[in-house]
Amino acid sequence: MTRTRKGTTTGSNRNRQKDPSSSETADHLRSTRLSDIDKKILKILLQPGAKISSVDLEKELGIPRSTIQRRRRHLERSYLEHTYVLKLEHLGFRRVDLFIYTGGGATGSIAKELLNRDEVVYVGSSIGEHTIDLRAEVIIRDNSELLNLLELVKAMPSVRDVVWSEIVEVLGRKTSIPPSIIDRL
């Protein structure tokens, strides 16, 4: 790599791809505005239960399939996450959130310890409510498992309190991102 007098670089590093996890790349993605076609595609793909093919997108939007496929590929690489989720209730399990109040700056070690347990599928650091430092999503079969897990978490060093919550009925579901937010991208 060669530096020019104005501070720019030339040579082999010029064409090197950026690390997608770098803050520079993240800033670029945040500042990138999506095209109108991208927004139309996103609004359809993000509808609850949407499983739409590129052929169906072509018909619905009146845009050539090659354009749909190219734009969809770009959106899926840069902006969309695709995951499968088990219907736990059909398998006799429940999804419960634990809200954990910690002390002594031990949230990281508590999170690591929780993640070593099979029933814990997610732990996140939380801000907002001053008595909730960690949120852990757990999969349990019954109240006995929940009680045992609560007692285990309460016994961890630096855990001050644990409360739990469970969604027992979904009363409605919107798209993951409302269309008005997509319009602002």
In this structure, are 142 and 122 located in the same domain? yes
Asked whether residue 104 is assigned to any structural domain, the reply reads: yes
Pick the range with the lowest mean pLDDT from 11-20, 36-45, 135-144: 11-20
Distance of CA 77 to the CA centre of its chain: 14
Q: Above 80 in pLDDT, residue 107?
A: yes
**This prediction's pTM:** 0.67
Asked whether residue 110 is assigned to any structural domain, the reply reads: yes
Tens of pLDDT along 25-62? 555 455 567 899 999 999 998 887 778 899 999 999 99
Asked whether residue 179 is assigned to any structural domain, the reply reads: no
Q: Residue 77 — pLDDT band, cuts 50, 70, 90?
A: very high
Asked whether residue 1 is assigned to any structural domain, the reply reads: no
Q: Residue 73 — pLDDT band, cuts 50, 70, 90?
A: very high
Give residue for tokens 């959106």.
75
Asked whether residue 22 is assigned to any structural domain, the reply reads: no
Q: Residue 82 — pLDDT band, cuts 50, 70, 90?
A: confident
In this structure, are 137 and 152 located in the same domain? yes
Asked whether residue 147 is assigned to any structural domain, the reply reads: yes
Tens of pLDDT along 148-175? 999 999 999 999 999 999 999 989 877 6
Quick one: pLDDT at residue 138?
Answer: 97
Quick one: pLDDT at residue 26?
Answer: 53
In this structure, are 62 and 97 located in the same domain? no
Asked whether residue 8 is assigned to any structural domain, the reply reads: no
Contact 111/159 with Cβ under 8 angstroms? no
What domain range includes position 136? 88-165
In this structure, are 67 and 130 located in the same domain? no
CATH code of the domain in which 75 resides: 1.10.10
Give the DSSP letter string of 19-88.
PTTSHHHHHHHHHPPPPHHHHHHHHHHTSTT----HHHHHHHHT--HHHHHHHHHHHHHHT--------G
> Helix 65-78 crosses helix 36-45 at what angle (to 10 degrees)?
70
In this structure, are 144 and 123 located in the same domain? yes
Asked whether residue 95 is assigned to any structural domain, the reply reads: yes
Give the DSSP letter string of 91-110.
GT-EEEEEEEEE-TT-HHHH
CATH code of the domain in which 141 resides: 3.30.70.920
In this structure, are 134 and 149 located in the same domain? yes
How many distinct structural domains can be found in the chain?
2
